[in-house]
Amino acid sequence: MKDGEMPGTIDKMRVLVIGGAGYIGSHVTRALLDRGDSVTVYDNLSTGCRQNLFKDVSFIKDDILNYSGLTRVMKKGFDALVHLAAFKAAGESMQKPEKYSVNNISGTINILNAACETGIKNFVFSSSAAVYGEPEYLPIDEKHPTKPENYYGYTKLTIEGFLNWYDKLKNIRFAALRYFNAAGYDPEGRIKGLEKNSANLLPVIMDVAIGKRKELLVFGDDYETKDGTGVRDYVHVTDLARAHLSAMDLLAKKGESFIVNLGSDTGVSVNEMLTAARKITGKPVPSRVVDRRPGDPAKLCATSKKALALLKWKPEYSDVQTMVRTAWNVYKAHSK
């Protein structure tokens, strides 16, 4: 906020989006640009893509493991940073923990230290529902015990721990946004870059619909859920993106760190997603039931009451039809 400005009003912000060429990062960047903020994207393009770089961002292609690259860009001065640069395949993280330690943990320590060195105080962190592990009760609120079942979730929880300490010791103010299952694409069709090799349900279904993969493997149909398949709380990526803006504004206004769940509070099964996708795409989308995927809970569902109270955030696009339709609008252009 500038001197003399009325308290409570938020000036246009200068924001550094680390991982801004990725799936969620590009939607966050789009939302920031839409409201007139100035955005610098820092991304090594390992999973993000150039197609997601809007013409009005300033782009730095660099790695979060490069500390001097981080300080160089941060010295330009930012009101806030959003950190979404992470590997996110829960299954892979159990096979290759080293990869997740280096990128997710060491990379974030670099970002935190560089933020301290350059005086950036507001830190929006992309955390995950994976911090909770097997649910002890549903819906999951932020007080639910955190016992990650996979190493990916452990990296996110560990980083939340660092953020707590840097808050106490270095006055970094953070918002840790615990996403449930992000899905869908920008409803206006402005984001066209597909995720590379995503292992998540909707991207896999879309790949099958465009002929890039042969079939969807349904990981188990003997769960104690409505139709036996896994149930998740899917939240539209544009809804997630809006929450980042509100989180940033709240940090700037109140100067207090917080952790919130971001979900749609609705459970959708694998079969329900598949049925909706077949209908909307008009494609057969072949599927085959296989064994359960290790580490997969039967059902995950959030309560996002805290996000509503704190951020005045409510999902607007997170119904199954909108998530599938907006994803299909992007994927169908890649049909074989």
Catalytic residues, which ones?
A: 152
Of 204 and 324, which CB lies nearer to ligand UD1 in the complex structure? Answer: 204
88 interacts with ligand UD1 by CB under 6 A? yes
Instruction: Work out the number of other CB atoms within 10 angstroms of the CB of residue 101.
Output: 16
- Cβ(104)–Cβ(159) below 8 Å: yes
Tell whether residue 204 is a contact of ligand UD1 (CB under 6 A): yes
Contact letters (x/-) for ligand UD1, 38-77, by CB under 6 A?
----------------------------------------
Paired sense of beta strands 268-269 and 231-232, if any: antiparallel
Stretch that binds ligand UD1, among 9-17, 85-93, 246-254, 318-326 (CB under 6 A): 85-93
Cβ–Cβ < 8 Å for 233, 265: yes
Q: How many CB atoms lie within 10 A of CB 118?
A: 18
Distance CA 50, CA 262 (A): 27
Q: What are phi and psi of 246, to 5 degrees?
A: -65, -40
Q: Examine residue 129 and tell whether it contacts ligand UD1 (CB under 6 A).
A: yes
CA gap 81, 293 in Å, rounded:
35
Residues 6+ apart with CB under 8 A from 177: 124, 125, 126, 127, 240, 243, 244, 247, 260, 262
* Closer Cβ to ligand UD1, 24 or 120, answer by number: 24
Structure tokens at 127: 């955390």
Q: Which is nearer to ligand UD1, 74 or 208 (CB)?
A: 208
- Of 55-63, 110-118, 167-175, 193-201, the segment contacting ligand UD1 by CB under 6 A is 193-201
Closest separation in Å from C-beta 15 to ligand UD1: 22
Choose, by CB under 6 A, the member of 47, 52, 146, 181 that binds ligand UD1: 181
Cβ proximity to ligand UD1, 77 vs 145, nearer residue: 145
Closest distance to ligand UD1 from the beta carbon of 147 (Å): 11
Question: Which residues between 261 and 300 bind ligand UD1 (CB under 6 A)?
Answer: 270, 293, 296-297
Length of the chain in terms of residues written:
336
Residue nearest to ligand UD1 (CB): 230
Residues 6+ apart with CB under 8 A from 74: 16, 81, 114, 115, 117, 118, 120
Count of residues binding ligand UD1 (CB under 6 A)? 24
Residue 78 vs 331, nearer CB to ligand UD1 = 331
287, 220, 252: which is closest to 81 by C-alpha?
252
| Nearest CB to ligand UD1, comparing residues 25 and 153 | 153
Query: Does residue 230 interact with ligand UD1 by CB under 6 A?
Result: yes
Q: In the complex, what is the shortest distance from the CB of residue 280 to ligand UD1, in angstroms, rounded to a whole number?
A: 17
Q: Which two tokens stand for residue 249?
A: 């504004």
Q: Rule CB under 6 A: say whether 24 interacts with ligand UD1.
A: no
Helix/strand/coil for 100: helix
Contacting residues toward ligand UD1, per CB under 6 A: 88-90, 128-130, 150, 153, 179, 181, 199-201, 204, 216-219, 230, 232, 270, 293, 296-297
